Amino acid sequence: MEEVKTFELTREFADSLKQAIEQGNNDFIIQSLNGVNSADITETLEEFTTDESKHILNLLDTQIAAEVISGLEEDTRKRFLRVFEPEEIAGYIDYIDSDDAADILNEVAPKAREEVISSIESSEKAEHIVDLMRYDEDVAGGIMAKELIKANINWTVEQTTEEIRNQAENVTKIFSVYVVDDQNKLLGIVSLKKMLLARRGTLIKDIYEEDVISVKTYDEEEEVVAIMKKYDLEAVPVVNMQNKLMGRITIDDIVDVMTEQAEEERQLMAGISEDVEEDDSVWMLTRARIPWLVIGLVGSFFGAEVIGLFENEIAVIPIMASFIPLITATGGNVAIQSSSIVVQTLANKSAFRDSAIRRLIKVILVALLNGILLALLAFAISYFRRGDLDVSIIVATALTCVVILASLSGTITPIILDKMGINPAAASGPFITTVNDILGLAVYFTVAYLLF
């Protein structure tokens, strides 16, 4: 066995390739990339300039080059596509699955797009792509591919095998065959395993399974992910309103969606407003970070206004000021914990939900328990350090109130965002801490004012 396995991209290898490009040493390039998996070549090209990459792609087998292009990150690919002629792009698209091809065409400038489509050799492929481009990116229709194997319910296993043979080049991954009637309505599914084990002459209708899980073209991608996860599917057929078979979604697309979701959630929780990575430019990184920093800053000035109202009290009892971070930090921590638990419930799409009232009671109970424990601890430390009973009572009381308020705001905000169609993870980010800073300070000084 040739050891393919994972390919370790070294700086030296990349440098030697770059050198070969400069020197026009094409033999070296062809030789060193021979037999390398396209995913590894893709990874290598992410580090190259567009011209260097084009040089390499031109030396590769078209099939491999097409796979490489299809695997590139969106940003990199957009840059790439600009240096290719529409005919060149069309040539690669012939080798790319319709779902990825539609994504790529969406990245091409609208003017060039028409040219690319009209240059695609297979008119069926071109039709498929145009059809797919009609769907939103984040519904089942937007992630499905048109490539699939279907069999009429009246066919024999041999006829179906023949169909697989004819489509073998177009459909690279086959898990099962979808069974349809004369109107292309989805009736069921036959696994490849069953086909292989069937006797000669067996009819599809005698071996197919009626119980097939399908999704609709307009189902949200989150729903598709949830369904494929729940039922452990490696592919799911996509049907339209009339139950006609329109395409299929494979698990690798779902894995991509899950990766994107995880990244989006991480960025929302961190208050990063664009999809950036460490190797983006200083300017892009700044632009992605500054909006939430500004919102946090402005929020803090509201907090400053609240504190300003009590300037006279602070001048008299300056210890009051030293507990400000205690109030804001605890409020923020509690709110983020609460919201992330709600986000998790929403992400898991749990079947039952307790009634709103029961959930609220539970949130308040947890908050009370946490609040009282923290208040006792805070009271003990502050009394031990300062020996000021009044201030200690104020701090403990305010802390309990802040914990309860933060729990409520942290629980309610993601639910509201979700209802509004906004990713609820946004509630676990700087928004909730900013709101709770202001709330917390208001509570703290009000308690102080009332108890003094």
The C-alpha angle with vertex 81 and arms to 78 and 83, in degrees rounded to 5, equals 125
Q: Pick from 112, 133, 307, 360: which binds a second copy (CB under 8 A)? A: 307
CB 265 within 8 A of CB 425: yes
Distances, alpha carbon 347 to alpha carbons 139, 266, 340, 343, 344, in Å:
17, 14, 10, 6, 5
Q: How far apart are CA 327 and CA 306, in angstroms?
A: 13
Residue 106: CA atoms inside 13 Å, Cβ hemisphere, count? 19
Using CB under 8 A as the binding rule, the residues of this chain from 190 to 209 that contact a second copy are 192-193, 195-197
Q: How far apart are CA 172 and CA 152, in angstroms?
A: 21
In whole angstroms, how large is the CA radius of gyration of the chain? 30
**Least CB distance to a second copy at residue 123 (A):** 25
* Closer to a second copy by Cβ: residue 43 or 115: 43
> Using CA of residue 388, residue 393, residue 394, residue 398, what is the dihedral sign?
positive
x/- contact string, 211-250, with a second copy (CB under 8 A)? xxxx------------xxxxxx-x--------x------x
Is 259 buried (19+), middle (13-18) or exposed (0-12) by CB count in 10 A?
Answer: exposed
326: number of Cβ within 10 Å = 19
Please give the biggest Cα pair distance in the chain: 96
* Closer to a second copy by Cβ: residue 330 or 397: 330
Using CB under 8 A as the binding rule, the residues of this chain from 34 to 63 that contact a second copy are 35, 37, 39, 43-44, 46-47
| C-alpha of 229 from chain center | 15
The count of chain residues that interact with a second copy, using the rule CB under 8 A, is: 139
> What DSSP letter does each residue of 259-303 carry, written as one string?
HHHHHHHHHHHHT--S---TTS-HHHHHHHHHHHHHHHHHHHHHH
Of 21-29, 56-64, 102-110, 336-344, the window that binds a second copy (rule: CB under 8 A) is 336-344
> What DSSP letter does each residue of 50-112 carry, written as one string?
HHHHHHHHHHS-HHHHHHHHHHS-HHHHHHHHHTS-HHHHHHHHTTS-HHHHHHHHHHS-HHH
Using CB under 8 A as the binding rule, the residues of this chain from 155 to 174 that contact a second copy are 161, 164-165, 168, 173-174
**Least CB distance to a second copy at residue 49 (A):** 14
Q: Which two tokens mark 395? A: 């701090």
Q: Is 12 in the site for a second copy (CB under 8 A)?
A: no
Q: How far apart are CA 23 and CA 271, in angstroms?
A: 46
Q: Is 380 in the site for a second copy (CB under 8 A)?
A: no
Of 19-27, 55-63, 127-135, 374-382, the window that binds a second copy (rule: CB under 8 A) is 374-382
**Least CB distance to a second copy at residue 202 (A):** 13
**Least CB distance to a second copy at residue 385 (A):** 7
Q: Is 350 in the site for a second copy (CB under 8 A)?
A: yes
x/- contact string, 119-158, with a second copy (CB under 8 A)? ----------------------------------------
Q: Pick from 34, 308, 389, 452: which binds a second copy (CB under 8 A)? A: 308
Of 24-32, 103-111, 134-142, 251-259, the window that binds a second copy (rule: CB under 8 A) is 251-259
Q: How far apart are CA 224 and CA 399, in angstroms?
A: 43
Q: Pick from 297, 389, 416, 451: which binds a second copy (CB under 8 A)? A: 297
Q: Is 441 in the site for a second copy (CB under 8 A)?
A: yes
Among residues 195, 188, 181, 182, the alpha carbon closest in space to that of 209 is found at 188
Of 86-94, 104-112, 139-147, 375-383, the window that binds a second copy (rule: CB under 8 A) is 375-383
Q: Pick from 86, 91, 141, 188: which binds a second copy (CB under 8 A)? A: 188
**Least CB distance to a second copy at residue 80 (A):** 18
* Closer to a second copy by Cβ: residue 109 or 293: 293
Distances, alpha carbon 227 to alpha carbons 39, 99, 248, 251, 443, in Å:
28, 20, 14, 11, 44
Of 24-32, 108-116, 131-139, 328-336, the window that binds a second copy (rule: CB under 8 A) is 328-336
| C-alpha of 424 from chain center | 13
Using CB under 8 A as the binding rule, the residues of this chain from 405 to 434 that contact a second copy are 428, 430, 433-434
**Least CB distance to a second copy at residue 214 (A):** 7
Of 19-27, 77-85, 112-120, 346-354, the window that binds a second copy (rule: CB under 8 A) is 346-354
**Least CB distance to a second copy at residue 117 (A):** 26
393: number of Cβ within 10 Å = 16
Of 110-118, 125-133, 134-142, 268-276, the window that binds a second copy (rule: CB under 8 A) is 268-276
